[in-house]
Structure 1
């Protein structure tokens, strides 16, 4: 069991879910965000922190022996906003980890690093980047920082390219991209349990019949996702209109992000 597990972005949708589901997986959960985290429960420490503040991040990471990094901006925004939260923030996190004994990191990357690949393609870990916006570019930067710190300093990271991590699949695209909460928790457990991790990219998706991504390169982790978006296919067919094949959401793996304009301000 980990002694102190840090979760950044703990007030967000995924952070709030992991705050609940990772209780008992570490002696202490250190929870951080710029947003309100409410009251601390038993076994929790609340440490507000702006990831763009390097000194604050250095203090945040001290004493942690594991990190789940969800913090930053998770949608398409202007470059200035993304630069501060996602680029400077991930640099500060990795510098702090290097200074404090290199605790293993689960880095929440994204399918938007490869968003312009067509939905007809099946991708493995060697697929080239095709980001669909500044958000996707920021996650590529984060993966590159993780790779650098692994090669230069021995920092281990799991780069989890999250698909659609929701309680259940909500639309046709999610029949391929859905990543159940339970499968995400099981992946985190496998990452911290593995004797050796290295710097490994993992597609964050459940065992979906219609999935686009091949995780065979990460089989050494012993992680086997159990949930399947196909269990919801009939409900989606009944309640969600099927998009036109020419729409971005039906053409590209990044879905509607590929149709968004660049945010100038």
Structure 2
């Protein structure tokens, strides 16, 4: 089987993905901390820091592909996001290029486009509208993946992940949710499809309330098996416990948009950005 490196392997998404992917690949798992106690026979652990290029070169040696889940996973100050998500991603892309790694899966995020109103349905051709420094780092990562595909021949899939869980946890997630099995399917397409150059796709299951046109993923053969609507009663009951958020409820990025908002709300809602 191909050898695939997975960064951020101690995180929640990686923990859900590991049993779904190790049947198809030998996994080299990496994070900054110690190895978990449940490694399978075809999983091995390498402790590495994304900000340390000297630790990434041996990590990528001999690998066929990379699933990059590592980095800062929520909004933070600029220095933290910059080092972990921008410099860190460039570091591991450069290590991948030097090692001859052919495939890269980049965990982008819906927060690269979070300031689009919930009334807009968007595809991958609209301009990015990040809702914080974290979203900026994901938009940057998509651009960096495009560069490494065009200039150095890597095959890169950037997945704008919505929310990965067994079921959607509230009203917003009925539009952006993705079951772990569907994410694993999308990752396998990115690692194996012969025509990938640099593809941007949305990490979402079959969601009737979706805000995103996921035509690119569908054209590559993605067929989600799970539907958010099957969990609608649960999600809405959970939403009732939270209550409304006057600004966040207007935008696709939710509370990321509301956090520290001090802009012109009407202008932000009605702005029509040019297509990329």
TM-score, normalised by the number of residues in structure 2:
0.90
- Match for residue 114 of structure 1? 113
Q: Deviations over 1:60-117 (max 9, x none)?
A: 1111101110000010011111111111110011111111113201100000000100
| Equivalent position of 1:179 in the other structure | 178
Report the alpha carbon displacement of residue 55 of structure 1 after superposing the two structures with TM.
Answer: 1.5
CA deviation profile, 1:136-193 (whole Å, cap 9, x unmatched): 0111111111111111111111000000111110000001010111100111122222
Contact 2:169 2:234 in 1 (8 A): no
1:20 Cα deviation after fit: 2.1
In the alignment, the residues of structure 1 paired with residue 161 and residue 237 of structure 2 have an alpha-carbon distance, to the nearest angstrom, of: 26
Task: Check conservation: 2:32, 2:49, Cα contact below 8 A.
Answer: yes
Structure 2 runs not aligned, ≥5 long: 262-276
User: Which segments of structure 1 move beyond 6 Å, counting only runs of 4 or more?
Assistant: none
Aligned position for 1:156: 155
Question: What does 1:35-46 align with in structure 2 at a 5 Å threshold?
Answer: 35-39=33-37, 40-46=39-45
Give the aligned partner of residue 267 of structure 2.
none
Compute the displacement of 1:243 (Å). 4.2
Answer yes or no: is 1:165 the counterpart of 2:144.
no
Q: How many residues align?
A: 259
Tell me which residue corresponds to 1:188: 187
Confirm whether residue 34 of structure 1 aligns to residue 32 of structure 2. Answer: yes
In the alignment, which residue of structure 1 is the partner of 2:268? none
1:1-265 alignment, distance < 5 Å: 1-2=1-2, 4-26=3-25, 28-39=26-37, 40-241=39-240, 243-244=243-244, 247-261=246-260
Q: CA RMSD in A?
A: 1.5
Contact 1:243–1:250 (8 Å) recurs in 2: no
Q: Distance in 2 between matches of 1:248 and 1:174?
A: 16
| TM-score of the pair, normalised by structure 1 | 0.93
CA deviations on 1:193-251 (whole Å, 9 max, x unpaired) are: 2112010000111110100111113333111112111111122233431743x623321
Gaps of 5+ in 1: none
